[in-house]
Amino acid sequence: MALPHAQSGQIVSVRPLGDRLAQTVTTAILKAGQLEVMRVVLPVGKSMKEHQTPGEATVQCIEGMVEFVSDQGVQQLRAGDFVHLAPRALHALKAVEPASLLVTLCLKPADAA
């Protein structure tokens, strides 16, 4: 059974998981119209291969650290760091430490809206 997504006006916690990080899996928080929001959980060494999204995206590191690979090169994304991606920007992630990330996706590029 699929987990329900957040409803309009519902408060959802995206605080650090702390001791629960190792037992938590990636979850979708919201999928609506043009917006999708997920908490991505990556154990050490786990990666997301190079990919792109049709619309803009943001990645905010809630806890831990990941290597973020883009056309800017390899960068460290640490707790509190945030990155914006243009539509179709190639990028990849690899956890250097156990990490949780708040990922927001615009499901349609601006020119298709």
The order of strands in the sheet holding 65-70 is: 47-51, 91-95, 65-70, 73-78
- Domain for residue 33, yes or no? no
Specify which residues 77 forms β-bridges with.
Answer: 66
Q: What is the pTM of this model?
A: 0.91
The domain that holds 82 is classified in CATH as 2.60.120.10
**Number of structural domains in the chain:** 1
Which residues, in sequence order, are CB contacts of 73 under 8 Å at separation 6+? Answer: none
What six digits make up the tokens of 39?
A: 């908490």
- Domain for residue 32, yes or no? no
Report, as an integer, the average pLDDT of 8-25: 95
Residue-level length of the chain: 113
pLDDT in tens, 44-74: 999 999 999 999 999 999 999 999 999 999 9
State the chain's maximal CA–CA distance in angstroms: 42
> Is 109's pLDDT higher than 90?
no
What range does the domain containing 56 cover? 39-112
